[in-house]
Structure formats: structure tokens, C-alpha cells
């Protein structure tokens, strides 16, 4: 191997690895197709945490919102998104799952400052619950149980501001795969009616906990009166109304840099697979 090849080979391997990780070369999915973004927390990273991907820092979140605003994206709630059969170019629906207090403390002021909107998929009985163990028993660190959740008073302020609308995320963040039909129906249907009673607003959209669901859950969500249901499947739907109870979302991770965010807005994924 010549000395030139020896110098070029490491750079070439790095370029290939970078290209695979970020897939910058993939063509953009049509900007006529709306993007539904999935967030959980907007908070600083914590030492020893298990759920780094769920935490987008406030500075990074504001950078992302500013990027969307600067590049002409139009913010809508999920009910607004589903009410239209045609969308203007660059429509984005920001969604938050679970109901963490940092959504009020950190995300809410940023969204207000930049005239943006979001949908909050709220767990009704959310306090002191470590629902991560409902998916994987070894996730028993208690991290999510200790994470402060939104109070009803905070939710009222968020909703009355017009910045947030409410969606449902079951009563207890149940793993629907482990539930029988009676429990599934109670968790899916009753979370809608309870939230509507508690906050005096229509709750039209649903999010499957952990993104775990089957066709029975899809049918129950439709029968419960939701007009849409979101999954954790990464991507951008071609037609939101073709299958409104299995909508894909663009995953926004606390592990991502800004390049990854821009690429997710372009293709729905950070790289070739993720």
C-alpha cells in the first residue's frame, strides 16, 4: 500500500461511517407531507441516567424550534392537522408523550416565545409511576417515577394559552400487549372521557404507550371516538387519512446533534435505518 493510500484509507472509512450514520445523501421526502415530531422531556441531561434519548435539553429544543420557524415550517396541533385533507408545504405537529413537568417549565415558554404549538399526550394517573418497567422489567431504576409530572393546574394554563392541546396516553401508561380486551378498552376509552371531564376540552388524539399496540388496539381507539392515533414508528406518512390510527412520527432524541435533527426533518429518520 502506498503512503498516499495509507493516508486516504482512514478518511475514506470515516466518510463511509458518517454517510451510513446520517444518510445525508438520501433525497428529501416531499415537504407537502406533514411531519409529526415525538418528544418526551425537555430537560438537562442527568448523570447516570438510563433515558438520555428521552431528554432534549432546553437549549437544543429552542434551537430546533428556531430552525423550524426560520425555515418556514407551520406549527399545528394534531386536531388541526387531521381536520384538513390538504396541507400547505412544511407543516409540523410537535407532540410530547407522558406529561413531565419540564414540558411546562422548559418547553412551554420556548413554544410561546416563538408562537409555536404542540400536542400533549397525557397519562391520567401519572404521578409516582415508573412505567418503564411495564416494557422491560430491568428498567427498574426508578428514574421515571422520580421525574416530576405535570400538575392539573399547569396543564390548565398550558391548554388555556392555546399553545398546547390535549391528547390521551391511557390511564396508567399500560403495556397494551399484556392487557386483555376489557383492560385495553378501559385504558384507551376512559382516558379520553376522564381528560375531557377534568379539563373541559375535546380530546381527539391518542398515543400508544411504548408504541406497542395491535389491530385490536387500533379498533378500540377508533371506536372510542379518537380521530387519530400516533405510534413510535419512525417516518413520515404519505396520507394521514389513509390509516389515521397508525400514524408515524419523527423521533427527536436527546442523543441527536443538530445535523441529525435537520436530517430527520428531511427524511423522517436520522440515518439509513434510524
207: how many CB neighbours lie within 10 A of its CB? 31
Please say if the pLDDT value at position 220 is more than 90.
yes
Which of the listed CATH numbers 3.40.50.300, 3.40.50.2300, 3.90.850.10, 3.20.20.370 matches domain 3-120+127-165+227-267? Answer: 3.20.20.370
For residue 70, give every residue at least 6 positions away whose Cβ sits within 8 Å of its Cβ, in sequence order, or none: none
Please say if the pLDDT value at position 32 is more than 50.
yes
**Integer Rg of the chain from CA:** 20
Low-confidence winner among 2-6, 153-157, 232-236 (lowest mean pLDDT): 2-6
Helix residue spans in 84-203 (DSSP H):
102, 108-113, 143-146, 152-160, 181-199
Please say if the pLDDT value at position 139 is more than 90.
no
Query: Could you state, in order of their start, the residue ranges of all structural domains in the chain?
Result: 3-120+127-165+227-267
DSSP 12-78: HHHHHHHHHHH-TTSPPP-TTS-EEEEE-EES---TT-S-GGGEE-HHHHHHHHHHHHHTTPEE--H
Share of the chain above pLDDT 90, in %: 75
Mean pLDDT, range 134-143, rounded to an integer: 63
Mean pLDDT, range 141-166, rounded to an integer: 93
Predicted local distance difference test score (pLDDT) of residue 4:
47
Q: When comparing pLDDT for 174 and 8, which is higher?
A: 174
Task: Quick: pLDDT tens for 95-138.
Answer: 999 999 999 999 999 999 999 999 999 999 999 887 766 665 54
Q: When comparing pLDDT for 19 and 100, which is higher?
A: 100
Task: Quick: pLDDT tens for 54-82.
Answer: 999 999 999 999 999 999 999 999 999 99
Amino acid at each position: 500500500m502506498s503512503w498516499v493510500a495509507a493516508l486516504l484509507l482512514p478518511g475514506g472509512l470515516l466518510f463511509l461511517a458518517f454517510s451510513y450514520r446520517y444518510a445525508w445523501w438520501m433525497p428529501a421526502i416531499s415537504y407537502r407531507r406533514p411531519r409529526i415530531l415525538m418528544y418526551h422531556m425537555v430537560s438537562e441531561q442527568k448523570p447516570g441516567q438510563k433515558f438520555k434519548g428521552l431528554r432534549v435539553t432546553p437549549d437544543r429544543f429552542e434551537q430546533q424550534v428556531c430552525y423550524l420557524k426560520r425555515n418556514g415550517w407551520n406549527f399545528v396541533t394534531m386536531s388541526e392537522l387531521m381536520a384538513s385533507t390538504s396541507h400547505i408545504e412544511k407543516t409540523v405537529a410537535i407532540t410530547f408523550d407522558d406529561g413531565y413537568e419540564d414540558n411546562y417549565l422548559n418547553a412551554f415558554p420556548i413554544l410561546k416565545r416563538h408562537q409555536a404549538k404542540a400536542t400533549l399526550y397525557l397519562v391520567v394517573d401519572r404521578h409516582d409511576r415508573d412505567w418503564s418497567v411495564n416494557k422491560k422489567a430491568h428498567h427498574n431504576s426508578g428514574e421515571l417515577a422520580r421525574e416530576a409530572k405535570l400538575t392539573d393546574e399547569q396543564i390548565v394554563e398550558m391548554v388555556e394559552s392555546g399553545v398546547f392541546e390535549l391528547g390521551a396516553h391511557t390511564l396508567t401508561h399500560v403495556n397494551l400487549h399484556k392487557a386483555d380486551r376489557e383492560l385495553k378498552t378501559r385504558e384507551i376509552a376512559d382516558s379520553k372521557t376522564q381528560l375531557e371531564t377534568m379539563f373541559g376540552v375535546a380530546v381527539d388524539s391518542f398515543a400508544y404507550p411504548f408504541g406497542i399496540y395491535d389491530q385490536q388496539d387500533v379498533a378500540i381507539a377508533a371506536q372510542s371516538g379518537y380521530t387519530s392515533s400516533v405510534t413510535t414508528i419512525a417516518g413520515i406518512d404519505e396520507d394521514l387519512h389513509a390509516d389515521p390510527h397508525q400514524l408515524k412520527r419523527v423521533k427527536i432524541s436527546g442523543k441527536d446533534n443538530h445535523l441529525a435533527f435537520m436530517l430527520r426533518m428531511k427524511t423522517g429518520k436520522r440515518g439509513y435505518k434510524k
